[in-house]
Amino acid sequence: MPQMEGKAALVTGAASGIGRASALALAREGAAVCVSDINLDGAQETARLISDAGGQALARRCDVTNRDAIQAMVDATVTAFGRLDAAVNNAGISGHFYQRLHEADDESFERVIDVNLRGVWHCIKAELPPMLARESGAIVNIASVAGLIGAPKAADYTASKHAVVGITKSAALDYAKSGIRVNAVCPAYTDTAMVQGAIAGNPIMASIMTRAIPMGRLGLAEEVAEAVVWLCSDASSFVTGHALVLDGGLVAI
């Protein structure tokens, strides 16, 4: 039996990359999925891929820096599917890499915090009530290995992802007796449009990323998505407050 049969999920930042892969994987496992992104065309394409494969999907435009838009996304999911069992808070941005802290742009810092941290905060707050009503649910926040270790010349992104791991742990404790599990996944460099954009035209940086990973390659969005599905499913029923590392051995160094 599919792991998510009869359940409803939502995924933010689902127009591409880890978000799209997670939405497709959840749908493959039987979930009806609200596919959300600030890029509506991309979200609609993800929803079409799900529908073409025989799944059920709803596409929504959502800017996670807008609390009203987040609430509307959650409400639309519950209206369409009658419930919310799993939420994947994936929407995020990279900020400006390759700058030491004193050189970093304050506006970029504020934008990274707005999307990566406040966005997750407000998504969780909106997702919890329908889960509390059923005394059941799973929330997965997409963090990063940069939420566990330092990342040079990326202080804004690193700060935001450390905070996501912290929120995950605190929320897990708050709702452990309410039937709601809250976990995070912490990927290393993953072959997505965001990473490719960061290394575009910089073969040296691409080589550095690859060499930093003991397995000698970037991760795949589909590999992260499999971990997301597991954390959303009953197969991980005794797992909460965990930051699951998918890094090809990077943190083990």
Could you give the angle at the alpha carbon of 71 between the alpha carbons of 148 and 21, nearest 5°? Answer: 50
Nearest CA to 90 among 136, 131, 42, 35? 35
User: How far apart (Å, rounded) are the C-alpha atoms in residues 137 and 11?
Assistant: 14
Burial class (CB in 10 A: 0-12, 13-18, 19+), 56: middle
Confirm if 223 and 25 have CB atoms less than 8 A apart.
Answer: no
From residue 183, give the alpha-carbon distance in Å to each of 2, 25, 98, 114: 21, 18, 29, 21
Confirm if 221 and 190 have CB atoms less than 8 A apart.
Answer: yes
- Catalytically annotated residue among 98, 157, 175, 189: 157
From residue 33, give the alpha-carbon distance in Å to each of 21, 51, 73, 102: 12, 10, 12, 42
User: How far apart (Å, rounded) are the C-alpha atoms in residues 142 and 91?
Assistant: 8
Cα end-to-end distance, the chain, whole Å: 39
Q: Is 157 a catalytic residue?
A: yes
Nearest CA to 228 among 185, 189, 196, 181? 185
Catalytic residues: 157
